Structure 1
Amino acid sequence: MGTPLGDFVRARRDSTQPEDLGLPDRGRRRSPGLRRSDLATRAGISVEYLTRIEQGRDRNPSVAVVNALADALCLTPAERVHLRYLTKITGGECLGARPAPPPRQVRPAVLRTLELMEPGIAVVTNRIGDVLARTGAFEAMTRGTGLLESDTPNLTRYVFTDPRARSFFTDWDDVADEQAFDLWLGPSVDSHEWFTADLAPVAGPELTRRLNRHVVPRRGELRLNHPSGPALRLLRETLELTADAQQLVVFLPADEATAQAVDSLRCPSYDGRLRAIS
């Protein structure tokens, strides 16, 4: 049985071409990408040890080995962070007794911070996509899309199971990659297992394929097609609330047309009150 760490190393090896690392092309290979022997040589480990890692038979590689694999695969800084995280959860350092949903409480200080951002567009979520609190402008921006129809709205579930999401998000594939990747980051391994077990049967291969790819998303400009007509282009600034395993995301209009469209969506119903879910 594989592990998140082994799956990631194998996926990155399969997607790396020998010529990208200055290695000679040795002709036809049984599988795409870099040979296991080439990666092992670059990392300074044996092929047998690399095989054990990829197959999940070695769950506790040393920090030196993890760093050597990152160097050998020429991982980006974001990919290195992901590799270290997968090493931690594969080793079982943060496994709990039984899968359980994450807490939904938002600290009063965070709610106050969000309130100060009115009338801007901002939302507090956790890594599995629960929408925990939002400004009135965020509610106006998503009105009519179906995202907030549930008593416990969840962005990840919405992206993968609501057909309206494919129309709302211009770059749906990119957004789906982001939501799937964030499931690996928490808020805890238990919560990840609880949520993916609940979501996978209805989301199907669109979710599982992205989870197994371990591709670190770029998180560029967010483009939306609002049901009322305007096309929105938004920049995102994220404040990580590490102690809470939550994040505060602020959306900024990327152009004047978006700023005017947001004003038109917000003004008719804006009352200045913070929306929070307990």
Structure 2
Amino acid sequence: MDSDNLLGQFLRARRGLVQPEDQGVPVIGHRRVAGLRREEVAMLSGLSTDYYVRLEQGRERNPSVQVVDALAGALLLDDEATTHLHRLARPVPGRSRRHTSRQRVSPALVRMMNSWDGTPAVILGRCMDVLAHNPLGGALFAGHTYSGDLMRLVFLDPDARDFYPDWDQVAANTVGGLREAAGTDHDDPRMVELVGELSLKSEAFRTLWSRHDIRQKRHETKRFRHPVVGELTLDYESLTINSAPGQQLVVYQAESGSPSAHALSLLGSITATETARASDSVQQDIATGD
């Protein structure tokens, strides 16, 4: 990932998504560019074309808050994208993540998750990799080539489009979430490796990544087609973990009394049975000295 001019990359990508008619800009003759022209963004923002060009090219790196807000209005950015634009325009200096060690999950948090017998829960890292899960959370995503890596599950797993009936929406939200997680730090080696691999192997990922959409992982309803218990419609909440920046606790629930609740209960029973059998097998091996 080229991290030298993130602000310019974002501005170019987002103006390409705004149609002239969306902002009341007259369309005269043939247009060679998708979306708005540079001079049109400048006009809508109340800026000179020269100043806006310098912003896109990275020759001007300190726009005021007022300028950033004006650009957000011209580009029709939502609140999340506007916040991201401010972050790109005025990045907060901080310790680089490139030398940080492997992410560790709090044992206390794992114990808490394991006490939720009927609630799938997973802990995700910055790159959407599954750092930990409770038994039902593991069972929800089990059986896939990339069960422990949600980005690669969505874009590289052969079962992804069957597992996620609303794959297009899931894919867009997942990429937007990765953009949000990356923030202004695109030098993390694991992030660079992930984006490079997915860009090489998935045309869908390349297209979505080029849009620079931003999506914070918060609350949503998601449908699954589970290979064991069938259709599931689950609400989830994504919670940041203050003691471990970059980690998210994602908790899934089904509406009480719904078919999904019964399917989730069945999955829990199957998981508990399999866990008990595995435990019995280990105990027998210990008793026989195997």
Amino acid of the residue matched to residue 48 of structure 1?
Answer: D
Looking at structure 2, the residues matched to 34 and 191 of structure 1 have their Cα atoms a distance apart, in angstroms, of 27
> In the TM superposition, what is the alpha-carbon distance from 1:230 to its structure 2 partner?
0.6
> In the TM superposition, what is the alpha-carbon distance from 1:161 to its structure 2 partner?
2.3
Quickly say closer, same or farther: Cα 1:87–1:211, change in 2 above 3 A. farther
Looking at structure 1, the residues matched to 58 and 109 of structure 2 have their Cα atoms a distance apart, in angstroms, of 40
Equivalent in the alignment of 1:183: 178
Encode CA deviations 1:232-265: one digit per residue, 9 max, x unaligned: 1111211122452211111122571111111111
Equivalent in the alignment of 2:247: 246
Looking at structure 2, the residues matched to 109 and 269 of structure 1 have their Cα atoms a distance apart, in angstroms, of 22
Equivalent in the alignment of 2:207: 209
Looking at structure 1, the residues matched to 223 and 132 of structure 2 have their Cα atoms a distance apart, in angstroms, of 22
Answer yes or no: is 1:47 the counterpart of 2:42. Answer: no
**Is the contact made by 1:5 and 1:87 (CA closer than 8 Å) also made in structure 2?**
yes
**Is the contact made by 1:101 and 1:195 (CA closer than 8 Å) also made in structure 2?**
no
Amino acid of the residue matched to residue 250 of structure 1?
Answer: V
Structure 1 SS opposite 2:68: helix
Percentage identity across paired residues of the two chains: 35
Equivalent in the alignment of 2:104: 105
Give the alignment of 1:79-94 within 5 angstroms: 79-89=81-91, 93-94=93-94
Quickly say closer, same or farther: Cα 1:190–1:214, change in 2 above 3 A. closer
Quickly say closer, same or farther: Cα 1:36–1:44, change in 2 above 3 A. same
**Is the contact made by 1:181 and 1:217 (CA closer than 8 Å) also made in structure 2?**
yes
Equivalent in the alignment of 2:128: 129
Structure 2 portions without partners, runs of 5+? 276-290
Looking at structure 2, the residues matched to 14 and 252 of structure 1 have their Cα atoms a distance apart, in angstroms, of 38
TM-score (ref. length: structure 2):
0.78
Equivalent in the alignment of 1:235: 235
Quickly say closer, same or farther: Cα 1:170–1:8, change in 2 above 3 A. same
> In the TM superposition, what is the alpha-carbon distance from 1:103 to its structure 2 partner?
3.4
Looking at structure 2, the residues matched to 266 and 23 of structure 1 have their Cα atoms a distance apart, in angstroms, of 56
Quickly say closer, same or farther: Cα 1:268–1:45, change in 2 above 3 A. same
Looking at structure 1, the residues matched to 162 and 39 of structure 2 have their Cα atoms a distance apart, in angstroms, of 45
> In the TM superposition, what is the alpha-carbon distance from 1:188 to its structure 2 partner?
7.0
Residues paired across the two proteins, number: 266
Looking at structure 2, the residues matched to 242 and 50 of structure 1 have their Cα atoms a distance apart, in angstroms, of 38
Amino acid of the residue matched to residue 14 of structure 1?
Answer: G
Amino acid of the residue matched to residue 215 of structure 1?
Answer: D
Equivalent in the alignment of 2:166: 171
Looking at structure 2, the residues matched to 180 and 101 of structure 1 have their Cα atoms a distance apart, in angstroms, of 23
Structure 1 SS opposite 2:270: coil
Looking at structure 2, the residues matched to 192 and 238 of structure 1 have their Cα atoms a distance apart, in angstroms, of 25
Looking at structure 2, the residues matched to 65 and 191 of structure 1 have their Cα atoms a distance apart, in angstroms, of 24
Looking at structure 1, the residues matched to 182 and 112 of structure 2 have their Cα atoms a distance apart, in angstroms, of 21
Equivalent in the alignment of 2:226: 226
Encode CA deviations 1:194-251: one digit per residue, 9 max, x unaligned: 1243234542243333222112349743111112251111112111224522111111
Structure 2 SS opposite 1:170: coil
Quickly say closer, same or farther: Cα 1:94–1:73, change in 2 above 3 A. same
TM-score (ref. length: structure 1):
0.81
**Is the contact made by 1:7 and 1:212 (CA closer than 8 Å) also made in structure 2?**
no
Quickly say closer, same or farther: Cα 1:192–1:229, change in 2 above 3 A. farther
**Is the contact made by 1:128 and 1:195 (CA closer than 8 Å) also made in structure 2?**
yes
> In the TM superposition, what is the alpha-carbon distance from 1:94 to its structure 2 partner?
4.1
Looking at structure 2, the residues matched to 70 and 88 of structure 1 have their Cα atoms a distance apart, in angstroms, of 14
**Is the contact made by 1:100 and 1:191 (CA closer than 8 Å) also made in structure 2?**
no
Structure 2 SS opposite 1:211: helix
Looking at structure 2, the residues matched to 102 and 271 of structure 1 have their Cα atoms a distance apart, in angstroms, of 36
Looking at structure 1, the residues matched to 196 and 183 of structure 2 have their Cα atoms a distance apart, in angstroms, of 21
